[in-house]
Amino acid sequence: MILSRPSKRIALVKVKDDEPYIPLGLLSIAASCQGIDDIEIDVLDLTFPSHQKKLWGGNYDIVGFTCMAMWEDDVVRIAREIKSICNPVVIVGGPHATTYPDILTTDVIDFIIMGEGERSFPMLVEILKRDEWSHELLDNIQNLGFKHDNKVFLNEIRYSDELSALPFPSYDLIDIGQYQALERDPKFLYYKKNVLQFDYDVEIPYEFSRGCGFNCIFCSTNLIHGSMYRNKPIGKIMNELDCIAHMFKDKKIYLRFVDNDFTRDEKTVHQICNHLKQLNEDGFVIGWYAMGRVSDIDEDLAKKMKQANMKKLLLGGECGYQEGLERVGKQTTILDIRNAVDICLKNDIYTVVTFVIGFPWEDIELCERTINLALELKEKGADTYVYPLIPFHGTPVHNQLSMEGRILKPKSSRDFDLKKPRLFYDHPILKEKDIQCLLNRFWGQAIVKTETGE
Ligand code: B12
Ligand code: SF4
């Protein structure tokens, strides 16, 4: 029997990272190509040495990278290396390709896909299969960025109106055992805090909604998935949860809902909770984690989520003073934050609240008010984090600072890391050392409290 090589070999790549996780976006666009004949897709997570080897030796025709802001330098470096080996077509998608389409001017990047990729990526693959393509053909692909005669063309970006047609992500393209092993590697503290903290085997990401309907000045999610909140029909969600439960039935699953606002649609959340409770009663072991909005949390919802085996809830606190919340556009109140935390802790939900300091209008006193609220909630029993503001490309705060000429170019894209106590722009009042002192105060006090068990 003669085995013929598929006409296009495609690698979908996530660069090596210090926080390992299953790249859901790549699994979703891989699934969107299922109807295309004569292609072969590998999803490669370069955190694994075996995947690095596969990329270098795989003789791929198309290499698609998912890219967050902090990965830009790695993506460009690897694209350059792989171009010199087998000269594939290089496509970049994900948050950074969307919010910073200028990345397309890099010589080794041929195409970008901005926003959601499930419609545009398979259309592009179909065209690339022909080995020659015209400007006119590319013009018809929404969300695509391409180059022609040394000029960059960015097509119109469209977001899905509803999610019923989204494909079930190709979880079958990942080796779950590799991720499970990684999660036990002491280097990866992030996972220790999630999967291991609650004694699960492996974290599986899942998404049932997109958009959030708000427009906080520091957030780029609206650009990536659109501003309108919409979710999959409940029947589809239940089917997909069943599929995940069965696919990984020999594992204790730690399900990560990646939705911006899990708690947004009360009816759907109640139905999801009932279903997860039922799956656990049927013998599957599924704990889960989600991100919610403080103003959505009430006693009834918290009880329901706890009964369905919710292990952890992340809430965006953002600011410790009301005027800050208003200027950020969060549309919540300080009272909402305190209430939500009280309710979650009362219902024995492990609650994480994140805050941001260093907004353009803030002085030390305002930042301290945020730190004080974070410490107050920590003292009550929540797990709180305070991060410096990173003005990501395309966000309202970035646009404003950029107009004022205040954005500082980092030495490396890896600096776009919230864990680094940095100032990413020329702040009118604060200096970088102020941010460092403020964060030291938070972490110093936070650690003392935890260590002494106060
Ligand atoms: C879950 C999550 C995490 C998880 C897992 C990360 C992940 N990307 O899966 C964890 C907790 C690890 C994480 C960490 C961080 N995150 Co995060 N995270 C998210 C979140 C909430 C969901 C991501 C997701 O799975 N979405 C669902 C999938 C289906 O969508 P997607 O990945 O965007 O993919 C779609 C498109 O982007 C596109 N696409 C993506 N890749 C590709 C590739 C190709 C070739 C193509 C054609 C298309 C394409 O098609 C996909 C389908 O439509 C997003 C916000 C959001 N709602 O998207 C933030 C988000 C991605 N995170 C963000 C940030 C900043 C971070 C951190 C840097 C924060 C920090 N601590 O410093 C870290 C960095 C992580 C690291 N060290 O690598 C930012 C990125 C901003 C930016 N411009 O880069 C986002 C957008 C949140 C925000 N508020 O703006 N994150
Ligand atoms: S921070 Fe949350 S509420 Fe605000 S725009 Fe982003 S996802 Fe929406």
CATH code of the domain occupying 8-154: 3.40.50.280
448 compared with 56, residue with greater pLDDT: 56
Ligand 1 pocket test target in 113, 125, 224 with most atoms within 8 Å of CB: 224
Q: Where are the domains of the chain?
A: 8-154, 175-452
Between strands 151-154 and 230-231, the pairing is unpaired
Structure confidence by residue, pLDDT tens digits, 320-364: 999 999 999 999 999 999 999 999 999 999 999 999 999 999 999
- Among 116-125, 154-163, 410-419, the minimum mean pLDDT is found in 410-419
The pLDDT of residue 39: 96
33 and 41 Cβ atoms separated by less than 8 Å: yes
Using CA positions, which residue lies closest to atom 14 of ligand 1? 19
Any idea which residue has 């992500």 for tokens? Answer: 169
Share of the chain above pLDDT 90, in %: 83
**Distances 287 to 102, 198, 231, 234, 432 between C-alpha atoms, Å:** 41, 8, 21, 20, 40
Summarize the confidence of residues 415-433 as an average pLDDT.
Answer: 87
300 compared with 21, residue with greater pLDDT: 300
71 and 413 Cβ atoms separated by less than 8 Å: yes
70 alpha carbon to ligand 1 midpoint, in Å? Answer: 11
> Is residue 328 in contact with ligand 2, taking CB distance under 6 Å?
no
Residues with CB under 6 A from ligand 1: 12, 17-19, 21, 23-26, 28-29, 64-66, 68-70, 91, 93-96, 99, 113, 116-118, 121, 205, 207, 219-221, 224-225, 258, 260, 392, 417-419
The pLDDT of residue 3: 45
Nearest CA among 123, 222, 210, 98 for reference residue 164: 210
> What tokens appear for 291 in the block?
């991100």
> What tokens appear for 163 in the block?
């999610």
Share of the chain above pLDDT 70, in %: 96
247 alpha carbon to ligand 1 midpoint, in Å? Answer: 24
Using CA positions, which residue lies closest to atom 69 of ligand 1? 418
Summarize the confidence of residues 239-243 as an average pLDDT.
Answer: 98
5 alpha carbon to ligand 1 midpoint, in Å? Answer: 33
8-154 and 175-452 in the same fold: no
Going by pLDDT thresholds of 50, 70 and 90, the confidence category of residue 195 is: confident
Report field, pTM of the whole predicted structure over 0.85: yes
Query: How far apart are alpha carbons 154 and 436 in whole angstroms?
Result: 39
The pLDDT of residue 450: 46
- Among 10-24, 42-56, 225-239, 301-315, the minimum mean pLDDT is found in 10-24
25 and 118 Cβ atoms separated by less than 8 Å: no
**Distances 342 to 348, 376, 379 between C-alpha atoms, Å:** 10, 12, 12
The pLDDT of residue 447: 64
The pLDDT of residue 258: 98
Using CA positions, which residue lies closest to atom 75 of ligand 1? 19
Q: Does position 168 have pLDDT exceeding 50, yes or no?
A: yes
Query: How far apart are alpha carbons 327 and 90 in whole angstroms?
Result: 40
Three-state helix/strand/coil letters over the chain: CCCCCCCEEEEEEECCCCCCCCCHHHHHHHHHCCCCCCEEEEEEECCCHHHHHHHHHCCCCEEEEECCHHHHHHHHHHHHHHHHHHCCEEEEECHHHHHCHHHHHCCCCCEEECCCCCCHHHHHHHHHCCCCCCHHHHHCCCCEEEEECCEEEECCCCCCCCCCCCCCCCHHHCCHHHHHHHHCCCCCHHHHHHHHCCCCCEEEEECCEECCCCCCCCCCHHHHHCCCCEECCHHHHHHHHHHHHHHCCCCEEEEEECCCCCCCCHHHHHHHHHHHHHHHHCCCEEEEEEEECHHHCCHHHHHHHHHCCEEEEEEEEECCCHHHHHHHCCCCCHHHHHHHHHHHHHCCCEEEEEEEECCCCCCHHHHHHHHHHHHHHHHHCCEEEEEECCCCCCCHHHHHHHHCCCECCCCCHHHCCCCCCCCCECCCCCCHHHHHHHHHHHHHHHHHHHHHCC
Of all ligands present, the nearest one to the C-alpha of 325 is 2
Of all ligands present, the nearest one to the C-alpha of 319 is 2
Q: Does position 190 have pLDDT exceeding 50, yes or no?
A: yes
Mean of all residue pLDDT scores within the chain: 93
Residues 6+ apart with CB under 8 A from 106: 76, 79
Using CA positions, which residue lies closest to atom 22 of ligand 1? 258
Topology adopted by domain 175-452: pyruvate-formate lyase- activating enzyme (3.80.30)
75 and 15 Cβ atoms separated by less than 8 Å: yes
